[in-house]
Amino acid sequence: MPAFIFDLDGTLVDSVYQHVMAWHAALRECGFDLSIWRLHRRIGMSGGLMIRALARELDMPLDEAVIKRLSELHEQEFKRRIPSVSPLPGARELLAELRELKIPYIIATSGTTADAGPMLELLGRPDENIITREDVKRAKPDPDLFLTAAKKLHAKDVEAMVVGDSVWDMLAARRANFLGVGVLSGGYGQQELEQAGAFRVYADPEEMRRHLDELGVREE
């Protein structure tokens, strides 16, 4: 039987666009005017890595103080936008069904514990099993988050699958040697996820829930 490692933002909760706009506002406040689609395509990496990657791409000199300030501003700007975040369709039901079928799962996010808390509340699972940025040295696209998650699941003897909405999830899954299952609910295109190695792609958690048999989940 498989075990599932879920990304959080864009995979279980509809928060990717709010993160994108929060980064955009933070960057503008620090004088950087980046195209929003480029931020969207970097979401899901750790915040620090994302800022460094964008800085390199755009040849912007960023010192540690600015990176810290951006990170704080992003947190503030995201907090303001939390009231507009909802669970994705089928997310709560999918997790409930896995629990009922006794399929092991865990959530692994590039975000911080502080960011994740309100999202778990939205899912009605404030005490959910979760691995965050603080638990690992390197966040996605490095495989550490997913390897740590699998260890916590004792998923050595089961087939671990990573469910995520971003290219970084699929790349990190491959580096961890796990299958990647893509969802479109973070706003990437289907082919982008497939090219990054997605084994299957569903619209959102609801569609995945209705096709669990394709992923090796049996009713008993």
Answer yes or no whether residue 86 interacts with a second copy by CB under 8 A: yes
Size, binding site for a second copy by CB under 8 A: 28
Q: Which stretch binds a second copy (CB under 8 A): 31-39, 59-67, 114-122, 146-154?
A: 31-39
CB atoms under 10 Å from CB of 79, counted, come to 14
Q: How far is the CB of 211 from a second copy (least distance, A)?
A: 18
Half-sphere exposure of 57 (CA within 13 A, CB side): 13
**Beta-sheet strand order (sheet of 2-6):** 130-131, 105-108, 2-6, 159-164, 179-183, 198-202
3 pairs with which residues across the strands? 160
Answer yes or no whether residue 123 interacts with a second copy by CB under 8 A: no
Q: Which stretch binds a second copy (CB under 8 A): 19-27, 115-123, 144-152, 212-220?
A: 19-27
190: tokens are: 């289907």
218: tokens are: 């049996």
E strand spans, the chain: 2-6, 105-108, 130-131, 159-164, 179-183, 198-202
41 pairs with which residues across the strands? none
In this chain, which of 8, 12, 16, 95 binds a second copy, going by CB under 8 A?
16
In this chain, which of 5, 21, 162, 170 binds a second copy, going by CB under 8 A?
21
Give yes or no for a contact between 201 and 183, defined as CB atoms under 8 angstroms apart. Answer: yes
In this chain, which of 6, 105, 178, 188 binds a second copy, going by CB under 8 A?
188
In this chain, which of 25, 66, 67, 82 binds a second copy, going by CB under 8 A?
25
80: tokens are: 């303001």
Answer yes or no whether residue 33 interacts with a second copy by CB under 8 A: yes
Give yes or no for a contact between 147 and 165, defined as CB atoms under 8 angstroms apart. Answer: no
Give yes or no for a contact between 181 and 200, defined as CB atoms under 8 angstroms apart. Answer: yes
Answer yes or no whether residue 169 interacts with a second copy by CB under 8 A: no
Answer yes or no whether residue 185 interacts with a second copy by CB under 8 A: yes
In this chain, which of 56, 101, 126, 189 binds a second copy, going by CB under 8 A?
189
Smaller CB separation from a second copy, 81 or 200: 81
Enumerate binding residues for a second copy (CB under 8 A): 14, 16-17, 20-21, 24-25, 28, 33, 35-37, 40, 84, 86, 88-89, 184-192, 195, 204
